[in-house]
Amino acid sequence: MVSMRSANERLANRRNVVDEALEAFVQERMTGSEAPAMSLARDVLLAGGKRYRPVLALLAFEAAGGGDPNEVMDLALSAELIHTATLVHDDIYDQSKTRRGKPTLHASHGIAHGIIAGDYLFVLGFELGGRYEARIVERMARTCAGIATGELLQFEHIDDLATTPEDYYAIIDGKTAGAFATACSCAAIVANAPDSTVEALDGFGMEVGRAFQLVDDMLDLTGEASMGKPRGTDVHEGKMTLPIIHALTMLHGVEREQLADVLRNFSDDRWEELTYLLEEAGSFDYALQLIENHLDRALAEIDSLPPSAARDLMSEVARLSQSRRT
């Protein structure tokens, strides 16, 4: 068990390594023929994301017995580039005006430039990922197709009060957790790890990704408005997150009808009502318990790996993702 302070420092160190590699990559593309596209994409790429995916790729590579971290860096950057591509495109069709407190790309440059910048980021992600063996490209492609499918499923269930927990998991496994799983499992493949290790790290990433998305969904319901994106965005958009799905199942009679009414006719002055109903139903506790369960499963997945500083840091990332506030 590493001490909290030293773990935080080591994680910050890994994030710095990722940030430096990303900045060098951006700089390289700013000097050639791609400068017009990169100068458009640069800001959102360097806007200070949390870099969970690339940091986990680096750690998974180490934990799986990998040697020179340069071998896995293209994969790590690829995960971040593709993630950023999806953010840029999501923001267009979610009509989000701000991200991390700044105007979204399409808000400042228009929809055309947002679509093109996102496409360009996808291309870069596939370029770097495409340098690896066929198994990795295959996993990346399945994951990205899963993001598209997850987003489509989410649209299908907008305002659908009959959405089940299974629907919810199909959505988040596609749009979020799959990318965490693939970053970790592909890093293990790069490290020439045995299949059992690849699958353990895939499982770890999937469970951390699920916890991550559940935390995101909780923050949307309980977070501060100062977080960079407004609280309650999901509720306004009619997205069925797990606490809401749970409350719709648990409440009966008048309260169930009241919740349905709050969701169908939501406005900011109904926050207290919504919060009260979710608390009545025990939905916050339920979601917190599920987050706990996913993190326990994540840790169990990597329990079989040989002890290493990287494995300990992966546990820290999992724990930190639980307590994050943005």
Q: Does 137 contact a copy of itself by CB under 8 A?
A: yes
Is 115 one of the binding residues for a copy of itself (CB under 8 A)?
yes
As measured in angstroms, the least distance from the Cβ of 87 to a copy of itself is 12
Shortest Å, Cβ 216 to a copy of itself: 19
146: exposed, middle or buried (Cβ count in 10 Å: 0-12, 13-18, 19+)? buried
Q: Which is nearer to a copy of itself, 36 or 165 (CB)?
A: 36
Name which of residues 69 to 108 contact a copy of itself (CB under 8 A).
85-86, 89, 92-93
Contact with a copy of itself (CB under 8 A) among 26, 75, 153, 295: 153
Residues with Cβ within 8 Å of residue 156, at least 6 apart in sequence: none
d(CA 7, CA 1): 9
Interacting positions 238-277 with a copy of itself (CB under 8 A): none
Shortest CB 180 distance to a copy of itself, Å? 18
Report, in Å, the least distance between residue 274 CB and a copy of itself: 25
**Residue 113 engages a copy of itself in binding (rule: CB under 8 A):** yes
SS3 199: helix
Contact 311, 213 (CB under 8 A): no
Q: What are the beta bridge partners of residue 103?
A: 98
Determine the 3-state secondary structure of 98 from DSSP. strand
End-to-end CA distance of the chain: 26
Give, as one character, the DSSP assignment of residue 270.
G
Q: Is 127 in the site for a copy of itself (CB under 8 A)?
A: yes
Binding test (CB under 8 A) with a copy of itself, winner from 4, 24, 111, 300? 111
Q: Residue 169 corresponds to which amino acid?
A: Y
Give the Cα separation of 93 and 71 in Å (integer).
Answer: 36
Length of the chain: 326
Alpha helices in 178-194 (DSSP H): 178-190
Name the residue nearer to a copy of itself (CB basis): 148 or 300. 148
Residue 30 touches a copy of itself, criterion: CB under 8 A: no
Q: Is 4 in the site for a copy of itself (CB under 8 A)?
A: no
Q: Is 308 helix (H, G, I), strand (E, B) or coil?
A: coil
Q: Contact positions toward a copy of itself, by CB under 8 A? A: 33-34, 36-37, 40, 85-86, 89, 92-93, 111-113, 115-120, 122-124, 126-127, 129-131, 134, 137-138, 140-141, 144-149, 151-153, 155-156
